[in-house]
């Protein structure tokens, strides 16, 4: 008798947690999968791959979209389909998915892309990407993973940081990096990122 309320509460919490997970999966299936792919492994270059992405980063981007700090007209209609309370569940969902490899389009650029990623460009002052985005492009709590990202999407983001069209990076950190990058460096580094498993 003594413990029945405790067990009842635990049971209720377990049911609620289960319900939250089911809601997230249903939300993803009905509102996100068409563009971001099954398990976040988008097959279309303009739609970012989200499988295995850092949860903190996904949550920040979703909140930035919801508050208008980051804008994109293709993603915009989806913003009415979820709310702030869904964000952490969506972020946890994508972080837990397994990334499937993609084939980079241009093998000839891989060596130049890797050199920029590991060492930066001391002449023009591009910092080494690895310092923030981590070995193998895996990211961490503070920096997004870049491994296995579509080259087309990643190149668009770098160009948008360069022009300032994307300006939701704290302390202008990525705008300062991209401003120093040449178009050839962008083309090379995104092929290297796509090649990372
Ligand atoms: C109609 C297609 C479409 C749908 C549906 C869609 N998105 Fe997106 N999403 C995009 C595009 C395009 C971008 C890239 C925006 C840009 O270039 O800035 C994006 C960007 C994102 C990003 C940022 C990724 C990154 O690497 O910075 C996240 C996170 C995201 N979407 C999550 C979602 C979630 C969660 C849903 C469902 C609630 C959803 N999207 C529905 C098209 C879509
Ligand atoms: C000082 C740390 C730092 C360095 C160095 C850095 N980045 Fe970033 N990068 C960030 C942060 C922080 C973000 C996320 C910004 C935000 O919150 O939207 C980011 C975002 C990105 C994105 C967008 C990811 C997405 O899914 O939309 C790309 C692509 C990227 N960086 C590429 C690079 C490349 C290539 C280099 C090296 C030339 C580099 N970064 C160097 C901190 C850094």
Residue 7 clears pLDDT 90, i.e. is over it? no
pTM listed for this prediction: 0.93
- Mean pLDDT over 88-107 rounds to 94
Burial (CB count within 10 angstroms: exposed 0-12, middle 13-18, buried 19+), residue 149: buried
**Ligand 2 pocket, residues with Cβ under 6 angstroms:** 48, 60, 116, 126-127, 129, 131-133, 143-144, 146, 154, 157-158, 168-169, 173-174, 177, 189
- Mean pLDDT over 4-14 rounds to 56
Chain mean pLDDT for the chain: 92
Contact assessment for residue 59 and residue 88, using Cβ atoms and an 8 Å cutoff: yes
Q: What is the pLDDT of residue 63?
A: 98
Instruction: For tokens 């739609």, name the residue.
Output: 47
Residue count of the chain, please give it. Answer: 197
Residue 1 clears pLDDT 50, i.e. is over it? no
- Domains of the chain: residue spans and CATH: 4-95 (1.10.760.10), 107-195 (1.10.760.10)
Burial (CB count within 10 angstroms: exposed 0-12, middle 13-18, buried 19+), residue 60: buried
CA of 150 to the centre of ligand 2 (A): 15
- Mean pLDDT over 78-101 rounds to 97
CA of 113 to the centre of ligand 2 (A): 15
CA–CA separation, 167 and 69 (whole Å):
8
C-alpha distances out from residue 185 to 49, 141, 179, 189, Å: 22, 26, 11, 6
Give, using CA atoms, the residue closest to atom 18 of ligand 2. 169
Higher pLDDT, 46 or 19: 46
């Amino acid at each position: 008798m003594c413990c029945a309320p405790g067990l009842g509460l635990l049971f209720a919490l377990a049911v609620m947690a289960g319900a939250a997970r089911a809601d997230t999966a249903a939300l993803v299936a009905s509102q996100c999968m068409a563009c971001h792919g099954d398990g976040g492994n988008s097959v279309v270059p303009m739609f970012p791959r989200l499988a295995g992405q850092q949860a903190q980063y996904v949550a920040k981007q979703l909140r930035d979209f919801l508050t208008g700090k980051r804008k994109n007209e293709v993603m915009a209609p989806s913003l009415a389909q979820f709310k702030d309370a869904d964000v952490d569940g969506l972020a946890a969902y994508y972080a837990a998915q397994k990334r499937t490899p993609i084939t980079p389009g241009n093998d000839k650029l891989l060596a130049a892309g890797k050199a920029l990623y590991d060492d930066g460009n001391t002449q023009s002052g591009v910092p080494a990407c690895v310092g923030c985005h981590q070995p193998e492009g895996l990211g961490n709590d503070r920096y997004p993973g870049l491994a296995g990202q579509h080259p087309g999407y990643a190149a668009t983001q770098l160009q948008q940081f360069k022009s300032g069209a994307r300006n939701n990076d704290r302390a202008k950190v990525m705008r300062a990096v991209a401003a120093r990058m040449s178009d050839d460096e962008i083309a090379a580094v995104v092929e290297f990122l796509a090649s990372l498993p």
